[in-house]
């Protein structure tokens, strides 16, 4: 019985919400990295779900162009997240990045299920085409808006520290 009590206390300490939250916050660069990956995943789900823009544009081609035009930023975002996962020391960093990508894709897939594919496509299909040839700075502006919307799996670090100014801002 005494062993069970100690084991239960250990499990609660390790798996309590405060244990997960302790120190688990993003610096602005990590928040930006997650948002770039979030946008990329959103565009992928739109592409796979809708296939064509409202004017008949081929979304797989547009998505490929978006990815190619932003490959450096996307690679840097992945490396930023891998470094953060290494720093937090919770599992294999590459596997954690893969899990993030899967989670983001599933998040947008759920949006399709909630809205129905025709409604989802009516609302989002042209986003892929619009961003496919957009300059990186324009896409980065959209990512900054996403940052300020506060949609993230990890909160931005704020505890007693000033938030570091971002590039160009």
Q: Which two tokens stand for residue 133?
A: 């040839």
State residue 26 phi and psi, 5-degree precision: -95, 145
- pLDDT at position 165 is 33
* In a domain? residue 119: yes
- pLDDT at position 150 is 65
State residue 155 phi and psi, 5-degree precision: -75, 160
* In a domain? residue 153: no
* In a domain? residue 129: yes
**Domain tally, the chain:** 1
- pLDDT at position 159 is 55
* In a domain? residue 21: no
Q: Which residue has the tokens 């808006």?
A: 145
Query: What residue numbers bound the domain in which 102 lies?
Result: 33-147
The low-confidence residues of the chain, meaning pLDDT below 70, are 1-23, 147, 149-150, 159-169
What is the distance in angstroms between the CA of the first residue and the CA of the last residue of the chain? 59
Report the alpha-carbon distance of residue 112 to residue 134 in Å, rounded. 25
* In a domain? residue 18: no
The DSSP bridge partners found for residue 58 are 52
* In a domain? residue 10: no
pLDDT tens digits, residue range 2-29?
Answer: 433 333 333 333 333 333 334 588 899 9
Distances from the Cα of 72 to the Cα of 33, 36, 88, 101, 130, angstroms: 12, 11, 24, 17, 19
* In a domain? residue 23: no
* In a domain? residue 70: yes
């Amino acid at each position: 019985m005494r062993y069970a009590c100690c084991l239960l206390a250990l499990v609660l300490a390790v798996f309590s919400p405060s244990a997960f939250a302790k120190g688990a916050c993003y610096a602005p660069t990590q928040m930006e990295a997650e948002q770039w990956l979030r946008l990329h995943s959103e565009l992928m789900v739109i592409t796979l779900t809708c296939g064509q823009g409202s004017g008949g544009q081929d979304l797989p081609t547009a998505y490929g162009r978006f990815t190619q035009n932003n490959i450096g930023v996307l690679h840097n975002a992945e490396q930023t997240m891998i470094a953060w996962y290494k720093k937090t020391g919770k599992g294999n960093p590459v596997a954690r990045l893969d899990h993030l990508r899967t989670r983001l894709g599933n998040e947008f897939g759920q949006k399709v299920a909630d809205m129905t594919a025709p409604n989802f496509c009516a609302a989002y299909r042209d986003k892929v085409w619009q961003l496919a040839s957009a300059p990186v700075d324009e896409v980065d502006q959209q990512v900054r808006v996403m940052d300020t919307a506060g949609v993230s799996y990890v909160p931005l670090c704020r505890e007693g520290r000033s938030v570091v100014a971002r590039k160009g801002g």
